[in-house]
Amino acid sequence: MGFVVKIKDWLRIFRAQTAAAVFLLVFIPYLSAGGELFSWYALLLALWSIFVHHISFGHNTVLDTLMGWDLRDPNKKHHPLIAQRIRKETALKVVSVGFFVYAIIAVFLAYLGSGNPFYAMVFFSLYLVGGFVYNDGISKISVWDFIPITICFTSLSLFSYFLIAKEFSELIILIALYLALVEWFQIGIEGEIKEIEIKDEVNMLQRLGTKIDGNIFSMGKSIIYPWVLKISGLAIAGYLLYKFTYVWLTAILFTIGVILAIYFCYKLTQKREWNRKKSLRYMALEEIVSIFLLPLILIPIIGLLEVFIILLISIVYFVGMNALLWETCFAPKV
């Protein structure tokens, strides 16, 4: 029983519940470039993407603890490193070794792929640098923290694309722009709302006027910021649909996705009584809709069966991991 508890604690450090998002971030460009889903290469890429997520997010968790940020966050007192169920030094050693392992595998994937290994490794390098800059404290001390992390995960998607593709195309540029805006929204809006109660961390939304006053959450004029990001991302997705994949099925799925994305953005940004748990739920649902929208409108390029499988894997993993680690369906206790 103690072993199972220990495994759960390690998965909490790795924030394993969000690994499905990185899996999709890697597989959507890979499949869009013509990669095969039913292959040993795809299986290795899938396992690698999960491992990359665990080490990268684990690195963020460990550094936020070592630098003292999470120690001052009352919402994280139950976390394994804060509660000292796992030693910080041990966790740092694990993620440090993990970086070497997944970098070696990345070189191996680029070597075996049929694409452009030079471009692939350029974007893998940008992924590493962007992630390290964000994790090394920029996320807590700069209002521009969304820049390195957006570069980080957008570059990871381009890495997987160039495992198969040899050159840039209009398609991958639009995919990358959409993913960049989704990531920007997640960190620059959702991440800042999640930490809005923390006074000793720099927060762009606080600077722009978002506040909790008498337990009432209000964005004031800063509400323009999330809506510009959200509408811009949906506009890019709409243009991608129009230019490359417009059929009746993708048009219907796009319309449903847009309605849901706008609805959850509204629920997240509206003036309301502050409820952090409910806000986390809206964030999770907004992220699911925004990420799932892309493969759904790419069905004519990726394939209906392939999209069904990667989305099914993602849903089962996300819901199952949240239930295992946090006893919730969508919103982890983070």
pLDDT at 19: 95
Q: For tokens 């000793």, what's the residue?
A: 200
Q: For tokens 């449903």, what's the residue?
A: 256
Asked, for residue 6, whether it belongs to a domain, the answer is yes
| 8 A C-beta contact, residue 108 and residue 45 | no
Asked, for residue 331, whether it belongs to a domain, the answer is no
pLDDT at 79: 87
DSSP 8-state class, residue 88 = H
pLDDT at 88: 92
What is the per-residue pLDDT across 214-267, written as a single tens digit (0 to 9) for each?
899 999 999 999 999 999 999 999 999 999 999 999 999 999 999 999 999 999
Asked, for residue 31, whether it belongs to a domain, the answer is yes
pTM, rounded to two decimals: 0.95
Phi/psi class of residue 137: alpha, beta or left (left: φ > 0; alpha: ψ in -120 to 50)?
left
Q: Which domain holds residue 255?
A: 2-326
Distances (CA, A) of 143 to 190, 197, 201, 244: 14, 16, 9, 36
pLDDT at 77: 82
Asked, for residue 130, whether it belongs to a domain, the answer is yes
pLDDT at 111: 97
Asked, for residue 266, whether it belongs to a domain, the answer is yes
Place 332 in a pLDDT band, splitting at 50, 70 and 90. Answer: low
pLDDT at 316: 94
* Mean of pLDDT over the chain: 93
Asked, for residue 333, whether it belongs to a domain, the answer is no
pLDDT at 331: 62
What is the per-residue pLDDT across 84-132, written as a single tens digit (0 to 9) for each?
899 999 999 999 999 999 999 999 999 999 999 999 999 999 999 999 9
Residue 334 has pLDDT above 80, yes or no: no
Our count of domains for the chain comes to 1
Place 326 in a pLDDT band, splitting at 50, 70 and 90. Answer: confident
Neighbouring residues of 274: CB distance < 8 A, sequence distance ≥ 6: 212, 215, 216, 217
Residue 1 has pLDDT above 60, yes or no: no
Strand partners, 272: 217
Residue 162 has pLDDT above 60, yes or no: yes
Asked, for residue 334, whether it belongs to a domain, the answer is no
What is the per-residue pLDDT across 177-219, written as a single tens digit (0 to 9) for each?
999 999 999 999 999 999 898 877 889 999 999 999 889 999 9
Distance in angstroms (rounded) separating the CA atoms of residues 202 and 195: 10
pLDDT above 90 covers a percentage of the chain that reads 84
pLDDT at 2: 66
Report the pLDDT averaged over residues 158-180. Answer: 98
Please give the single-letter amino acid code of residue 273: E
Residue 103 main-chain phi, psi, to 5 deg: -70, -40
Asked, for residue 332, whether it belongs to a domain, the answer is no
Residue 325 main-chain phi, psi, to 5 deg: -90, -35
Neighbouring residues of 305: CB distance < 8 A, sequence distance ≥ 6: none
pLDDT at 154: 98
Look up residue 4 and give its two tokens: 């199972």
Residue 33 has pLDDT above 90, yes or no: yes
